[in-house]
Structure 1
């Protein structure tokens, strides 16, 4: 959910709210989907509500999700350049498009599972992904050699 919400404090609040709902309503889980899908759906709805309440995220330079394996200075520079370009491109997407990209690529979910989470038809998820990829491609235009 870090791509939907920018502030670490807000992410923590949404996580806490999600876990509280899971705890209180675990008995009402019908089993029509995987438990992880049910929990992601709760988290997604909580994140959407949080975005409405606090629409202008504040950049926090200390919040860095980059995973490092001690690359050299040149590699660090290239990774940071690519990361910045990807973040900038992701920020240009609508929250609906950003959600399907995040759930697909960062959480490894399939379209059916994402459709359950965001409460829309599978074809809508596919369409959102199509448009999100096109927008990301335009936003990150240039040859791949420029980024590697």
Structure 2
């Protein structure tokens, strides 16, 4: 089952309120924000680092920054964009220091996406998990942020610290690679989820 996205206006308003309370030293608000974010951050960071221990370390480092810098949050972006941006930079620095991060160089072409619909079925989730692991890390994270957490290309660019067109390019290439990888997985004996053929046809037409 796909993880919920937490992108409603009520949720954003709640997070803004929590940030304001944290800026005033409210530890209960800090604990609430931590609990609200931990699951999605753990998934996001584990996909980036492939290390549960490092993901947890980055989560803790990120929230230490949130606690100290909450007053610096001005509301120019949503709290989640600000927080995930901190986490992404922390994770990249940690991976660089351990000589594990290989940046993927992609041309910044202006290529648009045609759909932001989340992946829906559990069967498709299992299929996609195997394919996603074969993508370059920045393409993989782009898919996670866009299709599963519901961020726009502009928000992803803020989180990842790159131009919007670079985000679009990464997502375009990720989609193209997934279209090739999924049939290969099916040929290896992974059962195709119901409706996958129809979805692939729709992708080819987009």
Alignment TM-score, normalising by the size of structure 1: 0.72
Pairs aligned (count): 125
Task: Identify the residue that residue 147 of structure 1 maps to in structure 2.
Answer: 192
- Are the aligned partners of 1:82 and 1:147 in contact in 2 as well (CA < 8 Å)? no
State the superposition RMSD in angstroms: 2.6
Corresponding residue to 2:146 among 104, 116, 124: 104
Separation of aligned partners in 2, 1:82 and 1:115: 25
Task: Identify the residue that residue 24 of structure 1 maps to in structure 2.
Answer: 68
Consecutive unaligned residues in structure 2, runs of 5 or more: 1-43, 102-121, 194-206
1:82 Cα deviation (Å)?
6.2
Larger Rg over CA atoms: 2
- Are the aligned partners of 1:100 and 1:114 in contact in 2 as well (CA < 8 Å)? yes
Alignment TM-score, normalising by the size of structure 2: 0.54
The within-5 A match list for 1:86-125 is 86-125=128-167
Matched, 1:13 2:57: yes
Moved over 4 A (4+): none
Q: Which has the higher contact order (CA 8 A, sep 6+)?
A: 1
